[in-house]
Amino acid sequence: MSAGASAVSKRSHRLDPAALAGVMTRDVVLFKRYWKATTFSSVVQPTIYLLAFGLGFGSLVSHVGHVRYVEYVATGVVATAVLFSSAFPGMFNTFIRWQFQRTYDALLAAPVDVEELVTAEILWISIRAGVYGLAPLIVGLAFGLTPEPGMLLVPFIGFLTGFGFAGFGVLIAAVAKTIDNFNYVTSAVLTPMFLVAGTFFPISTLPPVLRTIALFNPLYHCVSLVRDASFGIFAPRDLVSAAVLLAFAALMWRLSIWRLESRLID
């Protein structure tokens, strides 16, 4: 029986794991070529923030609550690492592959649909984000952060957060007219987002308006969960945070598929 014949007999349903695996294989092969550069940028930048703020401010601010400032920042910067290693690939990789290289056209001529394509891309980015999120934590451990079993949850929190922001990135890529539009998103959305999330300072110091806005910021919930997990705390607010991240991930997932489909299919 030839390969063609056996393929005909396989019925394909939605989100076929074989299709997801196929698309992700492509990402993995590409990653193998560029992993050093990708890892470097995803790991070094947050680490620099961590060292600069942690050590710089750490000499002025010894504690936030009962947490040493270095540890406070290390757990906060996990979210930054996750954000930047998910939103940017979501935006740029998608846009470049679709617009300039038409590689998505090639994939869609195969038995893959837009839903599978987007889901696979987002899954791959999220897995990477979950892993890269560990880097600041490891640096924190080197600076005396106490290892806690809860830290094993951090990659999963990173994955879930990354899923949402990767979806967000794909959504932006799908609606952007030119690659320059991304500057607006980076400056007006992502930058405030990572600052008003409890990453370097608690939001309790902010005016009430910003504090309320922070509660709607998925990154704030990521930071909160990472901190609680890293310090072995479990509180009801963690369930709320997890729910927010899940909702954000689900919403961005569906929106990104919807918009990219309308761009890719005439």
Partner 1 sequence: MLGRVPGPPAAIELRGVVKRFGAITAVDGLDLLVPSGVCFGLLGPNGAGKSTTMRMLTAQALSDEGTIEVLGYALPRESKQARMSMGVVPQLDNLDVELTCRQILGVFARLYRVPRAQRDDAVDRALGIANLEGRADTIVRDLSGGMRRRLLVARGLIHQPNLVLLDEPTVGLDPQVRQELWTLIDGLRAEGVTVLMSTHYIEEAERLADTVAVMSAGRIIAQGTPAELVEAHAGREVLEVYGPPAELAELEKLAAERDWRHRRSGPAVALLGAEELNGEAPDGVRRPANLEDAFVALTGQEIE
| Closest residue by Cα to residue 160 from 183, 133, 187, 136 | 133
Q: Which of residues 92-131 bind partner 1 (CB under 8 A)?
A: 101-103, 105-113
Q: Taking a C-beta distance cutoff of 8 angstroms, is the pair 141, 154 a contact?
A: no
CB of 15 to partner 1, least distance (A): 11
Residue 106 or 138: which CB sits closer to partner 1? 106
Near partner 1 by CB under 8 A, which window of 14-22, 50-58, 157-165, 201-209?
14-22
CB of 131 to partner 1, least distance (A): 22
Residue 229 vs residues 158, 179, 226: alpha-carbon distances, Å: 12, 37, 5
CB of 41 to partner 1, least distance (A): 17
The CA radius of gyration of the chain, in Å to the nearest whole number, is 20
Tokens of 244: 């927010």
CB of 10 to partner 1, least distance (A): 6
Q: Does 37 bind partner 1 (CB under 8 A)?
A: no
Residue 180 or 266: which CB sits closer to partner 1? 266
Residues 118 and 261: their CA atoms lie apart, in Å, by 9
Q: Does 261 bind partner 1 (CB under 8 A)?
A: no
Q: Does 36 bind partner 1 (CB under 8 A)?
A: no
| Closest residue by Cα to residue 81 from 11, 30, 145, 138 | 138
Whats the size of the chain, residue-wise? 266
Residues 133 and 161: their CA atoms lie apart, in Å, by 10
Near partner 1 by CB under 8 A, which window of 3-11, 55-63, 127-135, 159-167?
3-11
Residues 207 and 23: their CA atoms lie apart, in Å, by 45
CB of 122 to partner 1, least distance (A): 18
Footprint of partner 1 (CB under 8 A)? 1-8, 10-12, 18-19, 21-23, 25-26, 29-30, 33-34, 101-103, 105-113, 264-266
